[in-house]
Amino acid sequence: MGLQGTNGGVLAFSGTGLEQAIEELKQICPISCPALPESKEIHQLVATMNHIIAVLKDAEKKQISSETDRLMLWELKQVVFDAEDLIDEFATDAAVQLMGAHTCNIPTMTPRMMGQVCEMNDRLDRLQPQISMLAHQLSITTQGSCPGLTTWRQTSSLLPDETSVIGRDREKEHVIEILLSSTWFDESSSNNKGFSVLPIVGLGGVGKTTLAQLVFNDQIVKKHFELMMWVCVSNNFDPIRLTKNIIEAALAFRGTHKKCKITNWDSMQRRLLEEVKGKTFLLVLDDVWKAEHSMWEELFKPLHSGKKGSKVLVTTRNRAFVDKLEGPMETPILLGGLSDADIWDLFKRYAFKGNTHVDGTTTAEYYHLEDIGRHIVQRLKGSPLVARTIGSLLNHEVTIQHWKTVLESEFWTLEQVKDGILPALQLSYQYLHPDLKQCFAYCSLFPKDHEFSRELVVQLWEAQSFIRRDRGTRMQETGSKYFDELLHMSFFEPKPYMLIKNAHVMHDLMHDLAECISSDDCFRLEDQKTVEIPDTVRHISVYVSKKGQIDIINKLCFYEKLRTLLFPRSYQLEYHHLDQLFQRLKMLRVLGLYGCGIRKLPDSIGDLKHLRHIDLEGNDDLENLPESLGNLYNLQVLNLNDCHSLRVLPATMSQLVNLKHLRADYKLVSRIDGVGKLTGLQELQVRGRQVRELGGMCMLRRLSVYRLEEVQSREDAIQARLHTLELLQVLKLHWSRNSDITSPANSDIELEEDSSDIELNQDSRKPELEEQVLQALRPNDGIRKLRIQGYGGIKLPDWMEVSTLTSFASLRRVSLLDCPNWQVPPCSFLRQLCHLESLKIDLMPKWEEWSCPVSYDCLLELRIKDCPRLKELPLLPLTLRSLDLFEVGVSCLPEMYGCSHIGGGTETSSSHSPPVSTSLSILHISDCDNLTSISGLLQQHLPDLAEIQISNCKNLVSLPEKGFGHLVSLKILKITECPKLTCLLQEEEDASTQHLPCSLKELEIEECGDEMGGWWWAGLHHLTSIAKLSLYGCPTTVELLFLSLERHHHLHLPVTLTELRIGGYNRFEYKQKSTTFSTCSSQLSPPTPRLIPLVDASARALRVFTSLKELTIQHSLHFLQKWGGRRLLSSLEQLTISGDDDFHHKCLPSIQSCPSIHMLEAMSLPTSIKTLTLRRCQNLRSLQHTLNCISSLETLDIWNCPSLQSLPDTLGRLSYLQTLVIRNCLSIQSLPTNGLPSSLQTLQICGCPTLTVGHRNKPKSMWPEVSHIPDVTIDWHRLQ
């Protein structure tokens, strides 16, 4: 248990902030300087604070049981914060004085600040007796941090009850399969060992040990291994202790339960070697936290004598530890939570213990509690440990009141429950470095499931001085290491499907832990949150709806020591609100005002001396910034992205010498007078006319220069001195051309001068000058990413022609885009890039022959685009992961160097050795008119190929002769607009050998040859993972699919299919085609040769799609008419039907481009429909009876329906509706008389002049029907 604060928070102290403030003060103004009259007071303050820092650090490492001591430590922590603010303010004032000083180089202290320093010293004098006593007590405390943790959680190989384990059968089988396999290793490899390591990685409490126990006790496993050992490692990775434990485990396996009494390290290792020598062993190392590489190697030395096929199974929550392991390593198993069904079964076992029947069903007496229980289970996130803990707690009192209380509580209240989740997570927290503890705790400001980026979080930590300075290492690099450590220890988790790039989240339980330990320092203001804000709080984020915004500003002003204030969710702030906050919250370091509808910032923002981070992103109406912004000496980050009305920056911007990150449109940056004075910037976008100012910006890491045609002379480019910018890693050089006259940055506005500039520049391009400019803009040799775009010169610069072994050795990514006058790429330059990972070449129409060998050992990505004369590509490196060809003149695909073919080999492969390993995972081919075959490449051994997309290859006639079945990792296959494509399978061949791989998740065949036939559907029932199927513009293909589903009852699509799109024709009648059916397997022979209406078959066949959630039918008139009023699938959530001009049917819930339809009537729509789309229905007049049956609707989207006269009165009854979009519906005159639903969050109205007349520029409060909706946009203007 950590040190508790006054509100239950845990003392997490590292002292980085105060230490940095003192260091800065020393650099600016030596505290012992006798010329300073206040030197004595400053010296006393610094000395006392250094002593307190030492005491707090010592206390943070030890367990303090006395409540009095805990409160004292907490008071000292507040003193440290106050002193840090005071010293930081003095250091800032001193630095500003020195910037403007002409003679005196010793800054002076104002009387006000001198008084504050004296007051702080008096405060410390009064605390001195307690500080001394506490320091004495800590000095005689013998226990280290977290006493007894080495034995906190001992595990054994035995399961308490194997029948109690639920939901790990699949994982168990997977682990056993790996353990029983004999991993192949190259006999000549220096890393050849007799064993391989299999890590199981997951959060604490997810069941890693239980899974290992299941595997260890499996009878098949016991028969396979000659020796089995189980050792619990815990936090203390001591090779001597572990070796002794392994020996004892080996002895116990042989039935000799003796203690190992050997103490000599050499003798101990020799004894272990004897135990494992020549045996196939399984060693489980459970609960490994971390280990130095040298210790790991020492421990494993004796294990090399074991027989090949031996395994070491490691369970850990530390992915970083796994990534650092060397030698034979199986792919780590990332163990997630249990499924919803399994976690419910486990929960029931504990919560209803003694109250269930033999078959597991709940007795009638307690059946009414199941609904509450299911709500509780939704919060468990699949954690078996939490399920057992909460279930056991609920079982103590099986009443509605008790269960509701638990449901409404937070998990941190269960911290004293034996073996609960928070003790397990707190243990992980205790072993974090103190610097990491405060970083993790700070992230409690984000709401649960909030996605955050590494870059943002590290910048916030830096603004709070959480990152310790390390000489020779950038703060961002150190902060990124902090982030990695938290990520690897599972405090953070990567977000696979993210709204933002490289997004991460915190597991809910980790978030609960962060809230628990930070409750004295951090606070989130939320709706329905009744907890009072602690007086000690330093960081606040505001997540409230409009109803909860009353009086919040006044409440915030009370907390004058706030360092963080975040308004991340469209909180509407007026000018006087901001001025009120800035007048009171002088200690702010981080200010987040994202999308707050701000039009103007008050001058008082310039008084926030400590401010280091300002986020104004998304304030569309912000028109200018105050000149006082230049007073913010400490400002490090200024984010102005998506501030579209902002056209000029303050003239004082050049005073922000500590600014590191300026996020703004490059046209705004181009208006900064003296941008070269911002020497702290690490990333910058500028125009060509500013290139002379770059020479002194030595901290730049990323630089983009647009409009290079503006550079007037070679001398201007030379002044940039890019070769001297040693830290520069990313360089983008961009000349504007006709194809890219709009802004390359992220702005939708055009400044007044832009169009004329572009016209002038396009007419005055000078290839000779561009050659001189590119020659002068040579980057440093340490650059990692280079992009050249729009270059109009003919010659290559010398620095691309003359190569040396050391030139550009660090370059990883090269993009050469739109260089139309180059005959060939710079081969000499490319040839020397031995570490090149990505190569992109676009728009080089004169390039005919590839004369650059692709021998890069590290190349991962190759993209060639708009090179129509390039007829052939060389052999590809085995490291390549992504190949993208667009409008290239090749007739066949290049092959991988040295890779064997399926059913054959190459000169470099041998039947006695395993296939050569390849890495290709993504293949995109588009608009290659000369391409006729893709067989060569796709018939090679490509075990990692996951995605194939082929589109608009007009002469492609053949698919791989062996099909796609050998591509065992293929998940996405899309073939579109290849009209000549036919099936290559021979009649006598068995289609079962040419099935699509069962790994396939998405299959799209659109607008391909009518002779595609049945080559693919013969294996559809094998696609056990298929989720999306799209068949468009291929009549024969669709006919064969539905007729087969109808006539062959054994043939069906898996229940995994959730999205189906068919259409592209109106003739739904089956006709026998011998050329098509000759390709079918004998098992799936065609029906008897008679005419069968396909629509009957397809309508009946749809019944097999039991899990379908999205159905799209386009240009398929007769199918829809025959389908008629049949009851739709109950699983459907989205239905889209479009494109039939003559369609008159009355029952469609979602249509596009159906101009003849005039009314939609009620039908048996599935209640699960969540999205309804109506677009381009010119004659649709009424929706009055359409929405009655779809109460689950969440999104209603109505576009281009000019005849629609009104919205249905029943709209207000849709209690789940969140988004309503109405565009270009000229006849709608008013909103429904019964109002809009209270659940509505977003309303967008555009191009409806009668409906919006008088409302566009007025506040929402003047339009009662929409005043309750948080986000209202009228004609692209957001109402305040």
Residue 450 inside a domain? The answer is yes
Residue 855's alpha-carbon distances to 817, 879, 919, 1095, in angstroms, are 22, 10, 15, 55
Q: What angle do CA 787, 789, 793 make, to 5 degrees?
A: 115
- Cα-Cα-Cα-Cα torsion 1184, 1187, 1193, 1197, nearest 10 degrees, comes to -40
Instruction: Collapse the DSSP code of 816 into the 3-class scheme (helix H, G, I; strand E, B; otherwise coil) and give the result.
Output: strand
The arithmetic mean of pLDDT across residues 1130-1140, rounded, is 60
Residues 317 and 198 in one domain: yes
How long, in residues, is the chain?
A: 1280
Query: Encoding tokens for residue 605?
Result: 């923002």
Residues 1035 and 1010: beta-carbon distance below 8 Å: yes
Give the whole-angstrom CA distance, residue 223 versus residue 154.
26
Determine the residue type at 630.
G
Residues 222 and 316 in one domain: yes
Residues 463 and 637: beta-carbon distance below 8 Å: yes
User: Is the pLDDT at 495 greater than 50, yes or no?
Assistant: yes
Residues 1256 and 1176 in one domain: yes
pLDDT digits (tens, 9 = 90+) for 472-492: 788 889 999 999 888 866 778
Instruction: Collapse the DSSP code of 951 into the 3-class scheme (helix H, G, I; strand E, B; otherwise coil) and give the result.
Output: strand
Nearest alpha-carbon partner for 468 in 18, 1046, 949? 18
The arithmetic mean of pLDDT across residues 271-286, rounded, is 89
Helix (H) or strand (E) holding 1111: strand 1110-1114
Residues 998 and 1020: beta-carbon distance below 8 Å: no
The arithmetic mean of pLDDT across residues 162-179, rounded, is 83
Residue 325's CATH number: 3.40.50.300
User: Is the pLDDT at 1 greater than 50, yes or no?
Assistant: no
Determine the residue type at 1269.
I
> Which position has the higher pLDDT, 1197 or 358?
1197
Residue 528's CATH number: 3.80.10.10
Residues 85 and 587: beta-carbon distance below 8 Å: yes
Query: Encoding tokens for residue 1084?
Result: 């799936």
pLDDT digits (tens, 9 = 90+) for 833-850: 888 999 999 999 999 888
Among positive and negative, which fits the CA dihedral 753, 756, 759, 761? negative
> Which position has the higher pLDDT, 14 or 475?
475
Of 286, 316, 334, the residue at which a domain comes to its end is 334
1270 phi/psi in degrees, rounded to 5: -60, -40
Interstrand relation of 661-663 and 503-505 (parallel, antiparallel or unpaired): unpaired
Fill in the DSSP letter of residue 665.
-
User: Is the pLDDT at 26 greater than 70, yes or no?
Assistant: no
1021 phi/psi in degrees, rounded to 5: -70, -10
Residues 315 and 375 in one domain: no
User: Is the pLDDT at 751 greater than 50, yes or no?
Assistant: no
757 phi/psi in degrees, rounded to 5: -60, -45
Residue 265 inside a domain? The answer is yes
Give the whole-angstrom CA distance, residue 917 versus residue 629.
57
> Which position has the higher pLDDT, 479 or 22?
479
Residue 491 inside a domain? The answer is yes
Residue 198 inside a domain? The answer is yes
Which residues are paired to 1031 by β-bridges? 1005, 1062
Residues 542 and 493 in one domain: no
Residue 1170: the pLDDT is 75
Residues 734 and 789: beta-carbon distance below 8 Å: yes
Residue 1070: the pLDDT is 35
Percent composition of the chain: helix, strand, coil (DSSP 3-state, to 5): 35, 15, 50
Which residues are paired to 787 by β-bridges? 732, 815
> Which position has the higher pLDDT, 8 or 512?
512
The residue assigned the tokens 């068919």 is: 1062
Cβ of 999: how many Cβ atoms within 10 Å? 15
- Cα-Cα-Cα-Cα torsion 72, 78, 80, 84, nearest 10 degrees, comes to -170
Residue 606 inside a domain? The answer is yes
| Confidence category of residue 239, pLDDT binned at 50, 70, 90 | confident
User: Is the pLDDT at 596 greater than 50, yes or no?
Assistant: yes
Give the whole-angstrom CA distance, residue 92 versus residue 87.
9
How many distinct structural domains can be found in the chain?
Answer: 6
Which residues are paired to 613 by β-bridges? 590, 637
Residues 215 and 312: beta-carbon distance below 8 Å: no
Residue 356: the pLDDT is 60
Residue 1077: the pLDDT is 29
Maximum separation of any 2 CA atoms in the chain, in Å: 109
User: Is the pLDDT at 817 greater than 80, yes or no?
Assistant: yes
| Confidence category of residue 65, pLDDT binned at 50, 70, 90 | low
User: Is the pLDDT at 281 greater than 90, yes or no?
Assistant: yes
Residues 692 and 718: beta-carbon distance below 8 Å: no
Give the whole-angstrom CA distance, residue 320 versus residue 577.
46
The arithmetic mean of pLDDT across residues 1066-1089, rounded, is 32
Q: What angle do CA 984, 988, 994 make, to 5 degrees?
A: 55
The arithmetic mean of pLDDT across residues 250-273, rounded, is 80
Mean pLDDT of all residues in the chain? 77
User: What is the distance in angstroms between the CA of the first residue and the CA of the last residue of the chain?
Assistant: 48
Residue 926: the pLDDT is 96
Instruction: Collapse the DSSP code of 995 into the 3-class scheme (helix H, G, I; strand E, B; otherwise coil) and give the result.
Output: coil
User: Is the pLDDT at 685 greater than 80, yes or no?
Assistant: yes
Residues 300 and 354 in one domain: no
948 — alpha (psi -120 to 50), left (phi > 0) or beta? beta
Share of the chain above pLDDT 70, in %: 72
User: Is the pLDDT at 412 greater than 50, yes or no?
Assistant: no
Residue 506's CATH number: 1.10.10.10
Residues 203 and 490: beta-carbon distance below 8 Å: yes
Nearest alpha-carbon partner for 510 in 443, 451, 460? 443
User: Is the pLDDT at 1039 greater than 70, yes or no?
Assistant: no
Nearest alpha-carbon partner for 323 in 299, 294, 302, 293? 293
Residue 940 inside a domain? The answer is no
Residue 145: the pLDDT is 41
DSSP string for 698-721: TT-SEEEEE-GGG---HHHHHHT-
Residues 225 and 262 in one domain: yes
User: Is the pLDDT at 668 greater than 80, yes or no?
Assistant: yes
Determine the residue type at 1040.
L
User: Is the pLDDT at 747 greater than 60, yes or no?
Assistant: no
Determine the residue type at 1123.
W
Give the whole-angstrom CA distance, residue 66 versus residue 203.
32
Residue 1140's alpha-carbon distances to 151, 1093, 1115, in angstroms, are 72, 20, 5
Nearest alpha-carbon partner for 788 in 743, 758, 835, 820? 820
Residue 202: the pLDDT is 87
pLDDT digits (tens, 9 = 90+) for 1148-1174: 444 445 554 444 544 445 566 777 777
Query: Encoding tokens for residue 777?
Result: 């803009």
Residue 1014's alpha-carbon distances to 31, 954, 991, 1022, 1085, in angstroms, are 85, 21, 10, 15, 10
Residues 500 and 588 in one domain: no
787 phi/psi in degrees, rounded to 5: -135, 125
Question: Which residues, other chains included, contact 960 with Cβ-Cβ below 8 Å and sequence gap of 6+?
Answer: 934, 935, 938, 939, 984
Residues 534 and 439 in one domain: no
Of 518, 543, 565, the residue at which a domain comes to its end is 518
User: Which residues of 622-717 form beta strands (DSSP E)?
Assistant: 637-639, 661-663, 683-687, 702-706
Residues 127 and 177 in one domain: no
Helix (H) or strand (E) holding 197: strand 195-201
Boundaries of domain holding 583: 519-633
Residues 1221 and 1280 in one domain: yes
Residues 604 and 615 in one domain: yes
923 phi/psi in degrees, rounded to 5: -130, 115
Provide the CB-side half-sphere exposure for 234 (13 A, CA). Answer: 18
Sheet of 227-234, strand order: 227-234, 281-288, 310-316, 195-201, 333-334
The arithmetic mean of pLDDT across residues 326-333, rounded, is 80
Residue 502 inside a domain? The answer is yes
The arithmetic mean of pLDDT across residues 1114-1135, rounded, is 54
Question: Which residues, other chains included, contact 109 with Cβ-Cβ below 8 Å and sequence gap of 6+?
Answer: 36, 38, 42, 90, 93, 117
Residue 692: the pLDDT is 92
Listed ranges 359-363, 382-386, 517-521; the one with the highest mean pLDDT: 517-521
Residue 137 inside a domain? The answer is yes
Helix (H) or strand (E) holding 483: helix 475-488
| Confidence category of residue 930, pLDDT binned at 50, 70, 90 | very high
Determine the residue type at 90.
F
Of 366, 398, 421, the residue at which a domain comes to its end is 421
